[in-house]
Amino acid sequence: MSTISVIAAVDKHNGIGKKQQLLWNLPFDMKRFKNATTGHAVVMGRRTFESLPKGALPNRKNIVLTTMPPESFIDVFVCNSLPDAFDLCEHEDEVFIIGGAMVYKAAMKIADKLYLTRVHYIFEDADIFFPKINFDEWEEVEHEDHPADDLHAYAYTFHTYIRKR
């Protein structure tokens, strides 16, 4: 069975987006995302897929969850449930759930690993949120602080957690 990993970046109030876009531009976080997910399967909701500037993410097996007909999508696998998406990943060692809120909510009940970037700022205009995390269920295994700099308007921390068993 694959490791099911959730990867997300949240603000201090768990905000993850506004108007179907991200709230920030943090290149080093994008790099972390790319390094973690390249070569693996990524599962996302239809709205997150539509928000990707260049469509399917290269060098990854892209799986989009939707109730729409699969013919509407190119370069991606299409599923209408999370279990169906996992069936497509039986030979993958790690499957990344990459959002958005609706998919995170379902996946957090079953995920084994959580890659969480905390952005140290409150975005008052956020209109979509990561579900509340019960940290009693998770053990932190990595933690890396980054200050704001010329390329990053906000300080942020990379955390990695594994589910306590």
Residues forming the site for ligand NAP (CB under 6 A): 8-9, 16-17, 20-22, 44-48, 51, 65-68, 80-82, 98-103, 106, 128
165 burial via Cβ count (<10 Å: 0-12, 13-18, 19+):
exposed
Nearest to ligand NAP by Cβ — which residue?
Answer: 100
Closest distance between ligand NAP and the C-beta of residue 1, in Å?
19
Based on CB atoms, which residue is closest to ligand NAP, 61 or 117?
Answer: 117
Based on CB atoms, which residue is closest to ligand NAP, 18 or 163?
Answer: 18
Closest distance between ligand NAP and the C-beta of residue 152, in Å?
15
2, 61 in Cβ contact below 8 A?
A: no
Based on CB atoms, which residue is closest to ligand NAP, 26 or 61?
Answer: 26
133, 104 in Cβ contact below 8 A?
A: no
Closest distance between ligand NAP and the C-beta of residue 32, in Å?
11
CA contacts within 13 A on the Cβ side of 132 = 2
Closest distance between ligand NAP and the C-beta of residue 87, in Å?
13
For residue 109, the 8-state DSSP code is T
User: Residue for token digits 């990561």?
Assistant: 130
Based on CB atoms, which residue is closest to ligand NAP, 33 or 61?
Answer: 33
Q: Hey, what's the torsion of the CAs at 118, 20, 92, 105, to 10 degrees?
A: 70
* Per-residue tokens: 111: 């995920």
